[in-house]
Structure 1
Amino acid sequence: MKKYVLIGMAVILTACSPEVTSTKIETITDNVTKPEVELVEPLENSLLLEWSHDNMDRGNHDYETLAHPRLVVELDYKDIKRGDVIYLKSPDFTIDSNPDFNMPEHYIARVVGLDGETVEIINGQVFIDGRKLDTFYSIVLNRGKNKDEFFKESTPANRSDDESWKEYFATTMEPVKVEANTVFVLGDNWWRSTDSKDFGVLPMDNVEGKVLGYVKK
């Protein structure tokens, strides 16, 4: 009997111990942004944009106007929210490993981190202020496929370098503080995108508009 009393006391003391913490990860969600690119009517101040890069491709040549209608960009859009796809003036920066690299004068990318937040990437997952960002654009993908889907559905001949792909799906980035009047942006197809992983936070002065969707014919 004494044995069971001692066990019971141990359980109670363990439960009350300040050293015992929950392993549950806090999350931050975006239930507003839709993964589908909508068909929209141009506005008076809209720019109709041709876009041939695959930095936003989630498996359906998303945002690529070689496969879809032109993109409608609302110019002078200021009410920036997480999840918005923005049309931006490319910042000036260099890549040490590729000194000949040049970005196009303008680019599109998705807003992930906002003024005052800290963005971190751990093993292919975006965290905001230490909380896991839970949405379709917050994890590393290759044209819409996660690591398991990619390795299951592709052949070794088409992958060329498995170690490089494993490294890609484990993408990690040190915490980046989003300073005042800046945003942190990512492409949806990380390995084909040049974004805040490369050039850091983007000044709001470089944001020239919001991509609303494809033009409705």
Structure 2
Amino acid sequence: MKIWHEIWDYVKMIVIVVVVVLFLNNVVLINARIPSASMEKTIMTKDRIFGFRLSYGVNLNLFGNEISKKVKDPERFDIVIFKYPDDESQLFIKRVIGLPGETVEIVDGKVYIDGSETPLDDSFIPEPMYGSFGPYEVPEDCYFMLGDNRNNSKDSRYWKNTFVRFDQIVGKAIVRYYPSIKLLK
């Protein structure tokens, strides 16, 4: 009889651990492996990262029911994980460049917002970007995304659906944990 109590205790413990892990993985954190070079040198190919799903509020799909409540807007230069606008079954990771209502234009590799004479500070990119693109008028509740490795990034400039809607954002990338620990900015 005692053995059955011990087995039952182990079963309860395993069930609790599984429920906690599923909750963390589906509601709080997203664990991702970086498949491409589009965010290098910030995040390298094959790096492993954690994203925080609750950074901008709740944006979940539980049992087929979409729950979305915005508490904070993504900010320019945030690194976000989102559903690829042209195929929502894929997750992408890029940097927020254009915010809702802004006009983004890339002239000779420099990014300008709303016709500013001063380009955005892109000192975090590994090499100068080539080309001119836009202008792009970012719709309300949408964002314009660019990879940090801009000459090797499939981003808003090339997508059929140019912008990422807020409800497509899964979370904010917060830390790389493999091959070493690094806070993402």
Output the TM-score relative to the length of structure 1.
0.56
**Equivalent of residue 47 in structure 1, options 17, 21, 30:** 30
Q: What is the aligned residue count?
A: 136
Is residue 116 of structure 1 aligned with residue 107 of structure 2?
Answer: no
Structure 1 residue ranges (4+ consecutive) displaced by more than 6 angstroms after TM superposition: none
Distance (whole Å) between structure 1 residues aligned to residue 120 and residue 113 of structure 2:
10
* Separation of aligned partners in 2, 1:186 and 1:128: 14
1:77–1:208: 8 Å Cα contact kept in structure 2? Answer: no
Residue 133 of structure 1: SS of its match in structure 2?
A: coil
Counterpart of 2:77?
A: 83
List aligned pairs for 1:149-164, cutoff 5 A.
none
**1:38 matched residue in structure 2:** none
Query: Where do 5+ consecutive residues of structure 1 fail to align?
Result: 1-41, 94-102, 147-167
Alignment of 1:1-217 (within 5 A): 45-58=28-41, 62-64=42-44, 66=46, 68=47, 70-78=48-56, 79=72, 80-92=74-86, 105-131=90-116, 132-136=118-122, 144-146=126-128, 169=130, 171-199=131-159, 200-215=162-177, 216=181
**Unmatched 5+ residue regions in structure 2?**
1-23, 57-71
AA aligned to 1:198 is Y
Change (3 A) 1:65 1:121: closer
Alignment-mate amino acid for residue 63 of structure 1: I
Cα distance 1:184–1:208, how it changes in 2: closer, same or farther (>3 A)? same
Alignment partners' CA distance in 1, 2:54 and 2:123: 24
Q: Which has the larger radius of gyration?
A: 1
